[in-house]
Amino acid sequence: MLDRSMIRRSFALHSEQYDRVATVQKRVVARMAELIRNSLNAAPEQVLDAGCGTGALLEHLTQEYPSACCTGLDLAFGMARQTAAKMGQRAMTVSGDLENLPFRDHSFNLAVSTSTMQWLETLEHGIAELTRVVRPGGLVCLALFGGKTLWELHECYREVLAGKRLPDHDAAKNRLHRFHSGEYFAAVAGQNESLKVVQLFSERETDVRMDLYDLLRSIKGIGAGTANYAGKGGGGGLGWRGILNDISERYRQRYALPDGTLPATYETFYLVARKL
């Protein structure tokens, strides 16, 4: 099970460097801003960004809709503080939990969340909470990383561990985060009777890193390095140096690009839905 307190601490700890390393997340924000622009019937009056991080999407939205009253919420206080410093009077910022939103029903015309809901154990309650706080006719817009994210790393990691013949209880086997599948995401969105799905699709893009350690530093740099499965010592990274070296060698042999750099795939699910 996911350790929410560990996730909160990790993202708070890395909040000051998040903007420097969150390259893929920035591209997701730009894509989401485009989807919102093309889906709104009118400029929103009240906007919620749940899991706002350091406020990148809020910056887009306040520029696009200057008359809107915008609110950013993040589980990690450090992230919320970065957003507050960046946005100033342009948005209200709250430290809180997406799964237990501190807002009344029908408070917003638009609720968005990007690169956040992959850190929820299940998606049903988070989507239900966002739906609850949106007014009828308003939009719920989501983007989260899906099951094919970092598949090259996952594949090499599993193969190296299998070769080590580690016992089933070894915590190393659960140290990589398991992302939700597209089938599960689509099922949850479709089962919510209060939402009419307008768009539901996935996109893949490739991040390029110098080597495995550069990739791991980028993951850790946004706060995701310890946002993994907890229990029985499951936290704390991939494992010992020997296993990392073996993973690095397998990754390079199998997937290295002609210039020697390593590709890392990110799959993003997008949902645009209207509240009935």
For the chain, how many structural domains are there in total?
A: 1
Phi, psi for residue 119 in degrees, rounded to 5: -95, 5
Mean pLDDT along residues 223-236: 48
CA end-to-end distance (rounded Å), the chain = 33
Residue 234 has pLDDT above 90, yes or no: no
What pLDDT band is residue 25 in, cutting at 50, 70 and 90?
Answer: very high
Collapsing DSSP to helix, strand or coil, 136 comes out as strand
Mean pLDDT along residues 249-269: 97
* Beta pairing partners, 92: 71
DSSP string, 52-121: -TTSHHHHHHHHH-TTSEEEEEESSHHHHHHHHHHHGGGEEEEE-BTTB-SS-TT-EEEEEEES-GGGSS
Domain of residue 162 covers 4-275
Q: What is the pTM of this model?
A: 0.90
Supply the pLDDT for residue 1: 61
C-alpha closest to that of 50 among 75, 86, 33, 25: 75
* Beta pairing partners, 229: 2
Amino acid at 272: V
Q: How far apart, in whole angstroms, are the C-alpha atoms of residue 127 and residue 197?
A: 12
Least confident of 50-59, 103-112, 231-240, 267-276: 231-240
Supply the pLDDT for residue 137: 97
Supply the pLDDT for residue 232: 37
Q: What is the CATH number of the domain that holds 126?
A: 3.40.50.150
Least confident of 13-22, 185-194, 253-262: 13-22
